Amino acid sequence: MPKFLDMDFKNKDVISINDFSKEELLHILKVARQMEQKPKGNLLKGKILATLFFEPSTRTRLSFTSAMEQLSGEVIGFSNANTTSIQKGESLWDTLKMTEQYADVIVIRHPLEGSARLAAEAASIPVINGGDGSNQHPTQTLLDLYTIQKVKGRLENLHIGFVGDLKYGRTVHSLVIALSHFNPTFYFIAPDELQIPENYLDELFRKKIKYFKTSDLNRFGKEIDILYVTRIQKERFPDPLEYEKFKGVYRIDNEFLQHAKKDMKIMHPLPRIDEIDKSVDSTQHAAYFEQAANGIPVRKALLALVLGKAK
């Protein structure tokens, strides 16, 4: 998939954040702001979105559905592949060849890395990656960028901490790449076994981006502008006993916040398990519910752009 150099997103797939230039990311955020300020009721009338979810989801599937319906489009799909002919042995490829007959755009979530790319090759209509294994979650990244822009007023020159499962966390992988356009300083906070994969660090080194690695949550507390907290990704561990070793390893609570910058914001792609104490929800630091709500304007923008209904 080439870069969208001409800023024309019509009929494009949204598979990897690596496919987007800085200008394209900023353009999508601009369209999302327009969607939030002036929602256009009939923009997607007559269009059908197919949501193919081979893995559980609350936010991604429901916010895509809500975005489509708020713009008068319709939604078909499944949230459990066991109810489809995949169960009878139909391939992912054939499932996509069928779905393109019934819809104008597809959102797919699948446990296998690279599945969204395969889906895009199979289907002639736009395919949007709603998460492929531990690889990428580009639409989450766009709503993360949108949130950062809103809560900090800028994307440039921020100190961003990532804490939790940085090995399997696809939202971290996509966001690190996207933020690399904006001269960040990164703090990767994780047990050694769950640290950010080396290929991301190689990329940062190549781009001359400053980063620090530690397992100590408190080490850089005073420097961080945004703390991006993640769940330990239980479903990705090959050995369940390995997960037991790491569950509950970090917990953001009021005690931690005493040592943070006053205007530090906490983000989380959600769902959370126990890594953010509920008492944090009512503090000025919590941005994670607002972050989830931002999925609506951002996904409206993406749907409108790939369906050729926004420029």
Active-site residue list? 59-60, 88, 109, 137
Question: How many residues of this chain bind ligand CP (CB under 6 A)?
Answer: 9
Q: Which is nearer to ligand CP, 70 or 140 (CB)?
A: 140
Smallest CA-to-CA distance from 139 within 62, 78, 46, 201 is with: 62
Alpha-carbon span 293 to 146, nearest angstrom: 11
Query: CB atoms < 10 A from the CB of 34, how many?
Result: 15
Alpha-carbon span 22 to 209, nearest angstrom: 15
Alpha-carbon span 4 to 20, nearest angstrom: 7
Q: Which of 40, 59, 97, 247 binds ligand CP (CB under 6 A)?
A: 59
Cβ contacts of residue 210 below 8 Å, gap of 6+?
A: 185, 186
Q: Which is nearer to ligand CP, 70 or 291 (CB)?
A: 291
Under the binding rule (CB under 6 A), the answer on residue 270 touching ligand CP is yes
Catalogue the long-range contacts made by 240-248 (C-beta closer than 8 Å, 24 or more residues apart): 242/193, 246/165, 246/191, 246/193, 246/194, 247/273, 247/274, 248/274, 248/275
Name which of residues 181 to 210 contact ligand CP (CB under 6 A): none
CB of 270 to ligand CP, least distance (A): 5
Under the binding rule (CB under 6 A), the answer on residue 57 touching ligand CP is yes
Under the binding rule (CB under 6 A), the answer on residue 140 touching ligand CP is yes
By three-state DSSP, how is residue 133 classified?
Answer: coil
By three-state DSSP, how is residue 104 classified?
Answer: coil
Question: What radius of gyration, in Å, describes the C-alpha atoms of the chain?
Answer: 19
Yes or no: say if 165 and 248 are a contact pair by the CB < 8 Å rule.
no
Q: Which of 184, 269, 286, 310 binds ligand CP (CB under 6 A)?
A: 269
Q: Which is nearer to ligand CP, 43 or 230 (CB)?
A: 230
CB of 145 to ligand CP, least distance (A): 14
Under the binding rule (CB under 6 A), the answer on residue 21 touching ligand CP is no
Under the binding rule (CB under 6 A), the answer on residue 136 touching ligand CP is no
Q: Which is nearer to ligand CP, 159 or 268 (CB)?
A: 268
Alpha-carbon span 85 to 197, nearest angstrom: 36
Under the binding rule (CB under 6 A), the answer on residue 80 touching ligand CP is no
CB of 171 to ligand CP, least distance (A): 7
Q: Which amino acid is at 216?
A: D
The stretch among 58-66, 98-106, 160-168, 211-219 that binds ligand CP (CB under 6 A) is 58-66
Q: Which is nearer to ligand CP, 103 or 175 (CB)?
A: 175
Describe the crossing of helices 138-152 and 170-179 by its angle, rounded to 10 degrees: 60
The stretch among 73-81, 99-107, 111-119, 269-277 that binds ligand CP (CB under 6 A) is 269-277
The stretch among 53-61, 79-87, 92-100, 229-237 that binds ligand CP (CB under 6 A) is 53-61
Under the binding rule (CB under 6 A), the answer on residue 133 touching ligand CP is no
Under the binding rule (CB under 6 A), the answer on residue 60 touching ligand CP is yes
The stretch among 155-163, 198-206, 220-228, 263-271 that binds ligand CP (CB under 6 A) is 263-271
Under the binding rule (CB under 6 A), the answer on residue 234 touching ligand CP is no
Alpha-carbon span 140 to 116, nearest angstrom: 15
Yes or no: say if 137 and 129 are a contact pair by the CB < 8 Å rule.
yes
Q: Which of 11, 18, 42, 58 binds ligand CP (CB under 6 A)?
A: 58
- Interacting residue ranges for ligand CP, rule: CB under 6 A: 57-60, 131, 140, 269-271
